[in-house]
């Protein structure tokens, strides 16, 4: 028999405050809304998209929302510190950080432009490090917190025509483990989700290429591309008390890709 409050106490996030980067669309929006439905107040960073639909869904879940216009590609350590400090002053202490924002640039490795490499590294690695450091510093001082990285299947594999993205996602996996090693004993759980091929803007070109799409679907045991909502449950789990003894883990949510 399940105790009446077991689900709420173990998987619920009532009273928690979260920051989800890149929360306007795609995986970030799905995670932000799921966290709110689990009880958390949620702040999102936006840039190219205003995130109005995400904010409305969070409000509809009965939770508070903040939208922060931030260009993470230009974020440095000082800027991340100010972002976290200002958010906590207005919103309250952060319990959860989800480092979701990311971009992808496709070009043959021999011709890969320097500007594309630098843009991917700035958004997909540097901003994650700076925000994790700024939020983690506060979480460690309080003795509690959750940091969820969004890694990738390309944290394990090389991919094709995405050297910058692959390098950054390998680094995100390593950073997840490095921070977990230092912060697990301070009550801060750092883990990552490695999504498979999800129907977002980042995979649009692949899904619209009939040959490449066929090749990918043949490799995915589930036989379909994932939806952003397929990632949301894993994020709620890693943000919740249920995952309190998980540290430095990279959780693949990939339709079985890595099992094939």
pLDDT tens by residue, 8-39? 889 999 999 999 999 999 999 999 999 999 99
pLDDT for position 9: 86
44 neighbors 242 (Cβ within 8 angstroms): no
Q: Across residues 162-167, what is the average pLDDT?
A: 97
Residue 123 confidence (pLDDT): 97
CB 25 within 8 A of CB 202: no
Q: What is the overall mean pLDDT for the chain?
A: 96
Tokens found for residue 16: 């928690």
Cα torsion 202, 207, 212, 214: sign: positive
Strand partners, 140: none
What would the pLDDT profile of 73-108 be if each residue is shown by its tens digit? Answer: 999 999 999 999 999 999 999 999 999 999 999 999
Give mean pLDDT, residues 151-180.
97
| DSSP output for 1-55 | ---TTHHHHHH--TT-EEEETTTTSHHHHHHHHHHHHTT-EEEEEESSS--HHHH
**Model confidence band, residue 1 (pLDDT cutoffs 50, 70, 90):** low
Whole-number Å distance between alpha carbons of 223 and 96? 33
What residue spans define the domains of the chain? 6-252
Q: What is the average per-residue pLDDT within 227-232?
A: 98
Active-site annotation holder among 6, 130, 156, 165? 165
What is the C-alpha to C-alpha distance for residues 88 and 66, in angstroms, rounded to an integer? Answer: 11
Q: Round to whole Å and give the CA distance between 176 and 142.
A: 20
Q: What percent of the chain has pLDDT over 90?
A: 93
- CA gap 260, 257 in Å, rounded: 6
97 forms beta bridges with 19, 147
User: What superfamily would CATH give domain 6-252?
Assistant: NAD(P)-binding Rossmann-like Domain (3.40.50.720)
pTM of structure:
0.96
Which of the two residues, 113 and 205, has the higher pLDDT score? Answer: 113
pLDDT of the residue at 2 = 57
Q: Which tens digits make up the pLDDT trace of 53-70?
A: 999 999 999 999 999 999
| pLDDT score recorded for residue 6 | 86
**Burial class of residue 27, CB neighbours in 10 A (0-12, 13-18, 19+):** buried
Give the relative orientation of helices 163-183 and 114-121 as an angle to the nearest 10 degrees: 20
Locus of tokens 């979701």: 100
What per-residue string of b and e applies to 66-84 under the rule 16 or more CB within 10 Å gives b? bbbebebbebeeebbbebb
Strands 96-99 and 145-150: parallel
245 is catalytic: no
pLDDT-derived band at 170 (thresholds 50, 70, 90) equals: very high
Tokens in use for 48? 């190219």
pLDDT digits (tens, 9 = 90+) for 110-121: 999 999 999 999
Q: What is the average per-residue pLDDT within 210-232?
A: 96
41-49 average pLDDT score: 91
Across 153-179, average pLDDT: 97
């Amino acid at each position: 028999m399940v105790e009446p409050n077991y689900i709420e106490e173990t998987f619920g996030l009532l009273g928690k405050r979260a920051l989800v980067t890149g929360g306007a669309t795609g995986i970030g929006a799905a995670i932000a809304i799921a966290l709110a439905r689990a009880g958390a107040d949620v702040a999102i960073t936006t840039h190219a998209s205003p995130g109005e639909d995400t904010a409305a869904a969070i409000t509809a879940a009965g939770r508070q929302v903040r939208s922060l216009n931030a260009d993470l590609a230009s974020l440095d350590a000082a800027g991340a510190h100010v972002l976290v400090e200002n958010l906590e002053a207005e919103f309250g202490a952060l319990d959860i950080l989800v480092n979701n924002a990311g971009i992808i640039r496709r070009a043959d490795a021999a011709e890969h432009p320097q500007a594309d490499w630098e843009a991917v590294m700035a958004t997909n690695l540097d901003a994650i490090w700076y925000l994790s450091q700024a939020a983690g510093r506060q979480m460690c001082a309080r003795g509690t917190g959750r940091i969820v990285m969004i890694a990738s299947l390309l944290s394990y594999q090389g991919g094709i025509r995405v050297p910058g993205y692959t390098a950054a996602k390998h680094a995100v996996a390593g950073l997840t483990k490095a921070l977990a090693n230092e912060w697990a004993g301070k009550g801060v759980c750092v883990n990552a989700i490695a999504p498979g091929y999800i129907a977002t803007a980042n995979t649009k070109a692949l899904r619209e290429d009939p040959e490449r799409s066929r090749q990918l679907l043949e490799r995915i045991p589930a036989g379909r591309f994932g939806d952003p909502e397929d990632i949301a449950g894993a994020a709620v789990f890693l943000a919740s008390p249920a995952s309190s003894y998980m540290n430095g883990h990279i959780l693949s949510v990939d339709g079985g890709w890595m099992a094939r």
